[in-house]
Each structure stands twice: as C-alpha cells, then as structure tokens.
Amino acid sequence: MALAENRLKQSILSYLRTLGHDVWNTNQGRIRGKYKVARDGLPDIQGYHCRNGLAIFIEAKIPPNKLSSEQTCFIFNAQKAGCIALKAESLADVLRERRLQC
C-alpha cells in the first residue's frame, strides 16, 4: 500500500510541476522514534501556485486508507483559509481542482 501511495504522490508532484507550481513532498515522521519532525495532520504534498501564490496542500490516500482526524482538520482549516487543500485518491482528484490550472 505504501508503494502505491508513493507512486500516487510522485505522479501528483510531476503533474503539478509541469504546470509550473513549486511543490514538494513533505517528509515527516520521527527521528529514532523520539522526536517528531512535523506537526500532526500535515499533508504529503505542499507548495504554492505558480501565478497567484495560493498555498497547495494535498494528502495522497489509496483506499482503504483514510484521513486521520488531524489530516481532516488540517485540510478543512486550510480550505477555510482559502488555500487549495484536498485529499487525492488518484491523479483524477487533482485534475478536478480547477484552481490548479494556470
């Protein structure tokens, strides 16, 4: 399952970069099981829109994996603030977000 999500992340990153957006994979986790590197709920992909500077946050999930409550909260709050924030189960989910088009 992790391999499929990694492939999905890479296809999303590749697509967004071809549009000119500056996006990157958020590497997060723990260092030796003790120190947390990033906050809970931070999406897999972050960046900003090439033309209008809107923040981009995308969480890649391959079913049956689901968003954690922290991820759901982060995406909700980011959308409320006007960011482009979504869960993507496939590249098609990203293609549907019209604000990503340049």
Q: Which domains does the chain have, with CATH numbers?
A: 2-24+40-100 (3.40.1350.10)
Q: What percent of the chain has pLDDT over 90?
A: 80
- The structure's pTM equals 0.90
pLDDT at 4 over 70: yes
Q: Write down the pLDDT at residue 39.
A: 82
| pLDDT for the residue numbered 34 | 65
Over residues 21-63, the pLDDT tens digits come to 999 998 766 566 666 667 889 999 999 999 999 999 999 999 9
The two tokens of residue 75 are 């995406």
Q: If we measure between CA atoms, which residue out of 96, 37, 43, 84 comes closest to residue 67?
A: 43
Q: Is the peptide bond before 64 cis (omega within 30 degrees of 0)?
A: yes
